Chain A
C-alpha cells in the first residue's frame, strides 16, 4: 500500500481527474473532499460488507411457507 502524509488543505490526485482533499481533522475523524467525474463510483467500504452479509443472510433464510408469504405481500400491496 502506498502511504502518504497530508496536511489539512492538501490533496492527492489519482489519474488526471480525481482529487481527494483533506478538509478537516477532528480527533479520530478525517473529513475528505472528493472531486471526480460524475461517472466515478465512490462508496464507503462498509456498504459492500453490509451487502455481502445481507446476500449471505438472504441465501440461507428459507424456512417459510410461500403461500402465506405471498398472501401477506398481496394484502400489503392492495392497501
Chain B
C-alpha cells in the first residue's frame, strides 16, 4: 500500500508493517496507526522514526530507553499486557518518545510514558508509569556532552 508522508515522501509499505495503537497516543487519541522507519537510512542509529499512517506530517523520534537508563523499570501487569495482546511471558519492545529541541544536545526522552510494542501482533500502547520517579524530560546526554551553544544544523 502507498503511504504519503511529509518527511519521507511517498512510501510503498506492507499492511503488516503497521502498528495499531487502539488508544492512540496521549494528546493524539485519533492517531491509531504508525509505522517504524529507520532514523537515518545510511547510518546505524539508536533512534527510529515512528511515522503516522494517518497524518502525513506527524512523526515522532523514538529510542530504546534501556540504552541510556540500563536499570529502567517498566513493570507491566497482566491487565496491561492484555491491552496489547501479550502473553504473560512474551517479549515486547519498549520505546521512549524523544524530544529534540533546537539545541539537539539537549534532547530528552519521556521515561514516564513509554510505548510498549507487541511486534508479533503489531499492537502497541503508550503506558503511564505510576509510583516511579522518572521524568517526562530525561536528558539523553550527560551534562558534559550538552553544549549550550550547539548550532541547530
Q: Is the CB of A58 within 8 A of B130?
A: no
Number of residues on chain A facing chain B (CB within 8 A)? 35
Contacts between chains A and B (CB distance < 8 A), count: 117
Q: How far is the CB of A66 from chain B (nearest CB, A)?
A: 4
| Cβ contact within 8 Å between A50 and B112 | yes
Question: Is the Cβ of A55 less than 8 Å from the Cβ of B28?
Answer: yes
B98 x A72 contact (CB < 8 A):
no
Chain B hits for A53, CB < 8 A: 27
Which of B12-20, B43-51, B117-125 faces chain A?
A: B43-51
A77 to B145, CA, bound (A): 12
How would you classify the secondary structure of chain B's contact residues: helix, strand, loop or mixed? loop
**Interface pair A56/B136, CB less than 8 Å apart:** no
Residue A15 is within 8 A (CB to CB) of chain B in the complex = no
| Proximity bits, A42-72, B CB within 8 Å = 1, else 0 | 1100011011111111110111111111111
- What's the nearest-Cβ distance from chain A to residue B131, in Å? 9
User: Bound complex: CA of A39 vs CA of B140, how far in Å?
Assistant: 31
A45 to B145, CA, bound (A): 34
Contacts of A4 in B (CB 8 A): none
Using A65-B104, A69-B39 as known contacts, list a sample of 19 further A-B pairs with CB atoms less than 8 Å apart, ordered by residue number in A.
A39-B79, A48-B26, A50-B136, A55-B27, A56-B27, A58-B98, A58-B100, A61-B99, A61-B102, A62-B7, A63-B153, A64-B104, A64-B153, A66-B40, A68-B104, A70-B43, A72-B141, A73-B47, A77-B46
What residues make up the interface of A, taking CB atoms closer than 8 Å to B?
A: 38-39, 41-43, 47-48, 50-59, 61-77, 79
